[in-house]
Amino acid sequence: MTRLRHLARIAALASGVITAASAGDIRIIANASVTADTISRDDLQRIFLRTMVSLRDGTPVVPVLQSSGSAHETVLRELLGKSDASLVTYYRTLVFTGRGFIPKTLDSNEAVAAFVAKTKGAIGYVSADTKTPGVKTLEVK
Amino acid sequence: MNLRFQAAALAGAALVLPAALRAQFNFPIEGREVQIHSFISQGFAYSDENNYLTMKTSQGSFAMTDAGVSVSMRITDNFHAGAQVYDRCLGKLGDFHPSLDWAFGDYQFKRWLGVRAGKVKTVLGLYNDSQDVESLHTWAILPQSTYPLDLRASTIAHTGADVYGTFAVKNHGDISYTGYVGSRSEDKFDGYEYGVTSLGLYYKSESGRYAGGDLRWNNLVPGLLIGSSFLSGPASGAGNFVSPYSPILPVQTKLTYQLAAYYVEYRFRGLTIDGEYRREVLNGAELLTGASIPYLLDQRGWYASASYRISRLLEVGTYHSRFYPLWDQNHGDPEHHIFDQTVTARLNLTRHWDLKIEGHFIDGYGLLYSLRGFYPQDNPHGLKPRTNLLVVRTGWTF
């Protein structure tokens, strides 16, 4: 199974399409109010770095992060290209220059899934095996 | 209150206040997000020769304290507003007089177009707008060739309006722009007042309108940021020259200040390499006893730095900073340069608390009117060409 997953990831990378599942077994989840079914990797990065406050269809977006864990490490490494410390520094720069806010940060996959389910416009990430009732999964292109 | 008691009180306050300031409040008001954050830092500096940055560093000084509290509120999906109060004591600068650091409203129409109005932190180079927050930087003291603590007020913020935005460049990151116009912030507790007074100039600068901009390309290739900034405006003023050897003389200056900065930053995993070059030109005329004297000052400075995060706990780094107060003069004289080779170790003790130990090996002291750390009134026996400085600084951010 692991070998198959590895081969699937190589195939996805080779085709230029990185799915959420290939990005280290995480899923990008969104509140049901988010109309999009897919999202580009660049836009996802912009949303979590808060340089993009609404989706391309105009829907205001509320990013939610995890404070630690394997899903968080995967997002740092494969999506944001930052260490946890440099991400914290980045958000603090936004706050102390008045240009933005620190995103909501929660402690577990389940807490993120629950927050996304009840918060209009919310987008977060969870481990692929997390049960996420009431949310949609976005395909990352 | 004697200095030792004052230093002890400051150090004690810095140790106790973080608990009181553990003010990271996130709460909604009528469903709208409100965030309150704060920072505080306390430093100690000891030098072997010259006193530096208006502190009595040759005896060891704790007079290096600052703190800030910000509050921001999202009012609509596209509009937020906030304010920050900042206070510092750096030797004889700041003197614990709190100031409104920034206070503005920010409306973002589109990702490529937004406006900010009020008192806004000036986007200039890599770190101008974030220089006060100790935890955001590897260094205990940022390179003084480009971010002089003495002259913080001259570029830190403006009261006016910004236009800003970001464009995506397919597969090559984002290009961001900022343009602004406004009046420069004033601070009578800054190094400018302190420095010119020592020269016998009792002088009030006129706050004129100035304008500037910044253009930066982030992730041109992954991890690479390049950019440039400029700023232009009047630097005029009027006052008196007071000397025991002459009658009081009225002085007036009609100057234009222009600054250009170019910068680059590269991040790869735990490694950060960055550098910045600045040129500042003051051009115009000085009127003394009715005679107009042409005035041209061309100052240049740059730094290059590298830092590496070895582990979650430890980061090490070094920078080399060079400042030339008179670019067209021989640079060899200690009056004509300030070079600073710095080595730093930063310990991230918790997510909110860090400690830095930093060595500065400084060559030169610049001109009397350079206003970059070395002042005659702090060094009454004359300035020595070299200064070795130890700085220990700790900070809390919530």
Residue A22: the pLDDT is 45
Contact yes or no for B114/B106 (Cβ under 8 A): yes
Of B295, B298, B293, nearest to B281 by C-alpha is B298
Q: What is the pLDDT of residue B5?
A: 54
3-state secondary structure of B26: strand
Cα separation of A119 and A115, whole Å?
A: 6
Query: Chain B: nearest CA to A60, how far in angstroms?
Result: 6
Answer yes or no: is B207 within a domain: yes
Nearest to B321, CA basis, from B51, B127, B86: B127
In a 3-state reduction of DSSP, which class is residue B268? strand
How close B138 comes to chain A (CA, Å)?
11
B75 φ, ψ (degrees, to nearest 5): -90, -45
- Helix (H) or strand (E) holding A12, with range, is helix A2-14
What range does the domain containing A20 cover?
2-140
What is the spatial distance between Cα B92 and Cα B194, in angstroms, rounded to a whole number?
8
Query: Is B98 part of a structural domain of the chain?
Result: no
Q: Is B102 on the interface with A (CB under 8 A)?
A: yes
Instruction: Express as a percent the part of chain A with pLDDT over 70.
Output: 83
Torsion of CA A36, A42, A43, A46, to 10 degrees: 160
> Nearest residue of A to residue B103 by CA position?
A98
Q: What's at B332, amino acid-wise? A: G
Distance from C-alpha of B340 to C-alpha of B102, rounded to nearest angstrom: 31
- Kindly state whether B165 is in contact with chain A, defined as any CB-CB distance less than 8 angstroms: no
Torsion angle, CA of B196/B199/B204/B207, rounded to 10 degrees?
-40
What pLDDT is attached to residue A21? 41
Q: In this structure, are strands B353-363 and B338-348 parallel, antiparallel, or unpaired? A: antiparallel
- Comparison of pLDDT for B144 and B4, the residue scoring more: B144
Largest CA distance in chain B: 67
Instruction: Quick: pLDDT tens for B244-293.
Output: 777 788 888 888 999 999 999 999 888 999 999 999 999 988 887 778 88
ipTM (interface predicted TM) = 0.89
Residues 6+ apart with CB under 8 A from B290: none
Confidence grade of residue B7 (pLDDT, cut at 50, 70, 90): low
Containing structural domain, residue B167: 109-397
pLDDT for the residue numbered A48: 94
Q: What angle do CA A100, A106, A107 make, to 5 degrees?
A: 145
Q: Is B168 exposed, middle or buried (0-12, 13-18, 19+ CB in 10 A)?
A: middle
> Higher-confidence residue: B360 or A23?
B360
* Cα B355 to Cα A103, B194, B346, B350, distances in angstroms: 26, 30, 6, 10
Contact: B133, A102; criterion CB under 8 Å = no
C-alpha R_g of chain B: 21
Instruction: Report the domain count for chain B.
Output: 1
Q: Does A14 reach chain B within 8 Å, measured CB to CB?
A: no
Determine the 3-state secondary structure of B261 from DSSP. strand
The closest of B394, B312, B352, B355 to B24, measured between CA atoms, is B352
Closest CA to A26 of A73, A68, A61: A73
Name, in order, each residue with C-beta under 8 angstroms of A132's C-beta and a sequence gap of 6 or more. A27, A29, A113, A116, A117, A126
Q: Is residue B23 part of a domain?
A: no
* pLDDT for residue A5 is more than 50: no
Q: Tell me the sheet residues that pair with B309.
A: B315
Query: The dihedral of CA B261, B258, B320, B346: what is its sign?
Result: negative
Q: Distance, in angstroms, between B206 CA and closest chain A CA?
A: 26
Q: Provide the CATH number for the domain around residue B374.
A: 2.40.160
Measured between beta carbons, the chain B residues lying within 8 angstroms of A85 are 309, 312, 348
Dump pLDDT digits (tens) for A85-119.
Answer: 889 999 999 999 999 999 999 999 999 999 999 99
Of the pLDDT bands very low, low, confident and very high (cuts 50, 70, 90), residue B305 is: very high
CA distances from B299 to A106, B201, B325, B331 (A): 49, 21, 5, 12
- Comparing B220 with B207, which gets the higher pLDDT? B220
The answer to whether the CB atoms of B70 and A95 lie below 8 A apart is yes
Residue A19 — very low, low, confident or very high, per pLDDT cuts 50/70/90?
A: very low
Q: Which of A42, A46, A97 sits opposite B130 (nearest CB)?
A: A97
List the one residue out of B27, B82, B88, B79 whose CA is nearest residue B55: B88
Question: Average pLDDT, stretch B96-112?
Answer: 94
Rounded Cα distance between B40 and B62, Å, is 14
Residue B228 within any structural domain of the chain: yes
Burial of B76 (0-12, 13-18, 19+ CB in 10 A): exposed
Q: What is the structure's pLDDT at B77?
A: 84
What letter represents residue B134's amino acid?
A: E
Contact call for A83 and B130, based on CB within 8 A: no
Into how many domains does chain A fold? 1
The answer to whether A62 and A33 are in contact (CB under 8 A) is no
Q: In this complex, do A83 and B309 lie within 8 Å of one another by their Cβ atoms?
A: yes
Each residue's pLDDT tens digit, B105-144 = 999 998 899 999 999 999 999 999 999 999 999 999 999 9
Residues 6+ apart with CB under 8 A from B8: B62
Taking contacts as CB-CB distances below 8 angstroms, the residues of chain B near A42 are 168
B118 part of a folded domain: yes
Please give the backbone phi and psi of residue B5, each rounded to the nearest 5 degrees, phi first: -65, -40
Q: What is the pLDDT of residue B25?
A: 73
Q: Could you give the angle at the alpha carbon of B351 between the alpha carbons of B348 and B357, nearest 5°?
A: 20
The reply to whether B30 touches chain A by the CB within 8 Å rule is: no
Asked whether residue B25 is assigned to any structural domain, the reply reads no
- The CATH number of the domain holding residue A38 is 3.40.190.10
Set of chain A residues whose Cβ sits within 8 Å of the Cβ of B354: none
